[in-house]
Amino acid sequence: MISFLPYAVAAWLIAIGLYGIVTSNNLVHLVVCLSVVQSATYVLLLAIGYKTGGQAPIFADIPVGTTAVDPVVQALSLVDIVVEATVTALLLALAVQAHKRFGSIDPDDLRPLAG
Amino acid sequence: MSFRGRRALFLVSIPVALLVLVAAFAGLPDFGNYSGVYGRALNLIAVPQRHATDVVTAVNFDYRAFDTMGEEFILFAAVLGLAVVLRSMREEHRRASHEADEEHKFDEPSSLLRAFGVLLVGPVLVIGLYIVSHGAITPGGGFQGGVILAAALLIVFLAGEYLAMKFVAPHALVEFGEAAGAGGYVLVGFGGLVFAGVFFKNFIGLGDPAHILSAGTIPISNGAVGIEVAGAFVLLWTEFLDQALVIRGK
């Protein structure tokens, strides 16, 4: 049972986030939904690297050789988080400019740029 | 497309996408049974080889330090792009600073918020420095600590006012910090090239594991990244706050 639950959570986050993006009527809400989709990748990465009974890969208090979870996927999650932060910031900046130009943050109100 | 149309299309297509996803997940190792050879090897060799007790930091700032350089410049480029997107447009003008005083019509922060802010700034700064400097020993490092350091400045804004934040962290200083941090990290890489013959090779004495000055170049890289990340986030917030408080339409 527990063996597939983390993967199910990741799939659920992708699906629910995509639903939010597709049905969104607010650009800020849309960006948050994209973050939800992206958070699925953290769950997936950390779930893949988990070892039953494993400790955190920090050997300050535990001796080297203790069963520990995989440090490589954790390092990758860190990259993932940095990328997500930058993507979110850039998209929110675009939302600010879209609001200035169109006076609305409803994606349906966006029209092709003129001049 | 209408809201209903979009939702209908989504509900039809998402089962197909999920099916593909489930098929892909089926090929993954069972939860708790991962046996990646690199992770296992790193967990065994990081402490004896690099004297770094936090293996995640050892991976990020030593074994794959070159990739982290790319990651760092993703952040750098993104903040640059953000500054371009949020620049003052032709029809906009920046308010002069004396105007800002009069037009700064945010509600005054309550005295409780002010008191908490003053109390929090110091401890948050210390936590940020602690997280940056102990990156090689315990969970943390330049990226995490840098964000905490930047948060301390955000508290100055919350508890005082925007101008106070700009006084504590002038734009030019923040920009310089960000660039110096990014450049400093690359310099550590060149240090490896010059002193050990390989780009980003750990070329400094390793010290005792779990000591604050251990793990060779890792604490130095962490410091550089910490400065860069703190600068990047303060710049990012400044750009957004400028939109709300300084830049005005026609």
Q: Using the predicted structure, report yes or no on whether residue B126 has a pLDDT greater than 70.
A: yes
Q: Which residues of chain B from 97 to 126 reach within 8 Å of chain A, CB to CB?
A: none
Which residues does residue B33 pair with via DSSP β-bridges, in sequence order? Answer: A51
> Does any domain span residue A12?
yes
Task: Examine residue A114 and state whether it is found in any structural domain, yes or no.
Answer: no
User: Chain B closest CA to A64's CA: distance in Å?
Assistant: 6
Estimate to the nearest angstrom the gap between the alpha carbon of B23 and the chain centroid.
35
Most confident of A38-42, B155-159, B214-218: A38-42
- Residue A21 phi/psi, 5-degree rounding, is -65, -45
Tell me how close the Cα of B91 comes to any Cα of chain A, in angstroms.
11
Does B64 contact A75 at a Cβ distance shorter than 8 Å?
yes
* A88: in domain: yes
CB-based contact A71 B28, cutoff 8 Å: no
Give how far the C-alpha of residue B75 lies from the chain's centroid of Cα atoms, to the nearest Å: 8
Q: Do B28 and A7 touch (CB under 8 A)?
A: yes
Is A10 among the domain residues?
yes
Q: Which helix (H) or strand (E) holds B248?
A: strand B247-248
Please name which of B88, B86, B93 lies closest in space to residue B250, comparing C-alpha atoms.
B93
Give A104 to chain B, closest Cα distance, Å: 16
pLDDT band at B127 (very low <50, low <70, confident <90, very high): very high
Q: How far apart are CA B140 and CA B54, in angstroms?
A: 9
Residues of chain B positioned with their CB less than 8 A from the CB of A10: 25
- Are the C-beta atoms of residues B218 and B202 closer than 8 Å to each other? yes
Query: pLDDT (tens digit, 0 to 9) for every residue of chain A, 115 residues total?
Result: 557 888 889 989 999 999 999 888 888 999 999 999 999 999 998 888 888 888 888 887 888 878 888 888 888 898 899 889 899 999 998 888 888 878 778 877 777 655 4
Q: What is the pLDDT of residue B43?
A: 84
Partner residue opposite A57 with nearest CB, options B48, B55, B137: B55
Q: Is the per-residue pLDDT at B119 higher than 80?
A: yes
Residue of B19, B38, B43 to mutate, testing the A interface (most A Cβ within 10 Å of its Cβ): B43
Q: Give the pTM.
A: 0.81
Q: Could you tell me which chain A residue has the CA closest to the CA of B212?
A: A60
Burial of A75 (0-12, 13-18, 19+ CB in 10 A): buried
Looking at residue B202, the DSSP 8-state letter turns out to be: -
Least confident of A10-19, B5-14, B112-121, B139-148: B112-121
| Residue at A23 is within a domain | yes
Instruction: List the single range of B64-73, B82-91, B109-118, B147-156 with lowest mean pLDDT.
Output: B82-91
Q: Is the pLDDT of residue B70 over 60?
A: yes
B116 confidence band (pLDDT: 50, 70, 90): confident
**Per-residue confidence (pLDDT) for residue A42, from 0 to 100:** 92
pLDDT of residue B193: 82
Structure tokens at B165: 């934040």
- Structural domain including A17 reads 5-109
The answer to whether B129 and B151 are in contact (CB under 8 A) is: no
Question: How many domains does chain A divide into?
Answer: 1
Distance in Å, alpha carbon of B21 to nearest chain A alpha carbon: 7
Residue B16 has pLDDT above 50, yes or no: yes
Q: How far is A52 from chain B (nearest CA, A)?
A: 4
Q: Is residue A115 part of a domain?
A: no
pLDDT recorded at residue B102: 46
Six token digits for residue B119: 């109390």
Model pLDDT, residue A17: 93
Residues in chain A: 115
Q: Which of B34, B73, B243 to mutate to test the interface with A (most CBs of A within 10 A)?
A: B34
- Higher pLDDT among residues B182 and B171, named by residue: B182
Residue A63 lies in a domain: yes
Inter-chain touch B43–A4, beta carbons under 8 Å: no
Where would I find the beta strands (DSSP E) of B92-240? Answer: 93-94
Asked if A14 lies within 8 A of B32 by C-beta distance, the reply is no
> Percentages helix, strand, coil for chain B, rounded to the nearest 5?
70, 5, 25
Q: Is the pLDDT of residue B250 over 50?
A: no
Is A22 part of a structural domain of the chain?
A: yes
CATH of the domain at A87: 1.10.287.3510
Mean pLDDT, to the nearest integer, of B101-124?
A: 74
What would the pLDDT profile of A36-58 be if each residue is shown by its tens digit? 999 999 999 888 888 888 888 88
Residue B103: its pLDDT value, please? 47
Given a contact cutoff of 8 angstroms between Cβ atoms, the answer to whether B86 and B242 are in contact is yes
In the numeric block, the tokens 């830049």 are attached to B247
**Mean per-residue pLDDT, B131-148:** 87
* Chain A residues whose beta carbon lies within 8 Å of the beta carbon of residue B6: 22-23
**Residue B222 reports pLDDT greater than 50:** yes
Residue B39: closest C-alpha in chain A: A70
